Amino acid sequence: MKVNKTTPTDYPILDSIKNRWSPRVFANTPITEHQVKILLEAGRWAPSASNIQPWRVIWGLKGTEMYDRIFNCLDEFNSSWAGNSQLLWINAYKKTMNNRDVDNFHALHDLGLFMGNVIQQANSMEIAVHQMAGVDFKKAQKEFGFTDNYHVTTAIAFGYFGGNPEDLPEDLRKQELKENRKRMSQDEFAFNGNFKNNK
């Protein structure tokens, strides 16, 4: 089933950006390990401060033990729908600069650039991406053996567009079928002058 979304842009942008959205239900089409490697390769070439590449990824395909281990780190809300995805992964970043006990304040920015590349690549493959803040960070940290100089940030669900919204709980089904998308206007976040604290 195709869910139609309306993206009311004020200026022309790339279709791959305009058509991107984050579903909570996916088609049953499997994602292969080769496709995962393509997504990771796209992320690999993202820019990062001093080329440190602070991102780290734990991934698992549906039907595997790794998928289940990641799924078990999701919070209750996200576990109510993310089990229909074909690929789950967890993102973390290295908190310090290479070989130095100095905070890397740019690491989150760089992880975001990494995921921007992954999302664009996935979209070109007709694979949908839904990022989740609702992950038990401490549980994931312990589950996957991250050391203290790494921080688990998000979990990601991947799957092909075209799932059936009827498979979702009622409240999420309404969100899934909502056609009009919204964003704050440019003048709320971009200033050709001093910062304005609107909210």
What does the pLDDT read at residue 170? 84
51, part of any domain: yes
Q: How many domains does the chain have?
A: 1
- CATH number, domain containing residue 56: 3.40.109.10
Sequential pLDDT tens for the chain (199 residues) = 678 889 999 999 999 999 999 999 999 999 999 999 999 999 999 999 999 999 999 999 999 999 999 999 999 999 999 999 999 999 999 999 877 779 999 999 999 999 999 999 999 999 999 999 999 999 999 999 999 999 999 999 999 998 889 888 888 988 898 889 899 999 999 999 999 887 6
197, part of any domain: no
What does the pLDDT read at residue 3? 81
Helices (H) and strands (E) in the chain, counts: 7, 4
pTM above 0.85, yes or no: yes
